[in-house]
Structure 1
């Protein structure tokens, strides 16, 4: 019989996600959902979407996905024995390069003649915009990660060994 209180692979108790991490993840989900609902409502009324509405939605989506991935990673990675501080360090390490990633070249260098040129220009602008959205989301994610309570993150999961140190 499968015990829902135990990790399916190791039989260890599940890792508890710290309340502060859970709160950030839930807030990210709610924010993204609010932006999606707003876009659907506007499209349903036949309104045009603004660049700011699209930016806000994609920014919220990026943050939500990163926080949900971290929570899932914390629950399932390393047989359920990964500590919250370790998971956060991994994600901070993974997301930090987005701050320094060079954005694509300015779209002004793309030709604009004919439909192919228009498509090329539009895609160049979108690539540039998406890179900027990822940079902004990375700044927000890293700022939110810094607010997590160190004491709650340093707690060791029941399945982790007592000698483990948090590493990136």
Structure 2
């Protein structure tokens, strides 16, 4: 999608009387895609594939294995291993899906809220009203690109630990300008 198409999409999401103050697209190449996940996903998938190969040995490898063992374990164990292979493949593909979504996303700041429009197969539009925003955290690189995180709430999980929810505007240019515009919009509100 072109920048103009995404800009039109974000404008269509505006509420009556709402004005767009800022918009930007994330750079998928700068995205902190969870490639570190591969540190876990690669060994997981390798072991799952090894398991599958070993589990198929009684079924495929003739030998002196009794037929009862060959057909029960030779079928049950490989079926048991399939979900683990699937989980490994999903974990390994997660960074690519994150980049795909980032390439089809646009962030917007209006006089009422901050929103992210992701136009993949389904259009997703999470937003946070300026009145519902908590503290802001900014991470900026030397070239001005960065991430702005807005605390939107917290709750206790099942273990009693406090979990903080955030709305993240990731990998956008001139993040300091966005922060200034956001603070100014909150002050006016």
Q: TM-score of the superposition, structure 1-length normalised? A: 0.35
TM-score normalised to structure 2 length: 0.32
Larger Rg: 2
Structure with more contact order per residue of length (Cα contacts < 8 Å, sep ≥ 6): 1
Q: Which has the higher helix share?
A: 1
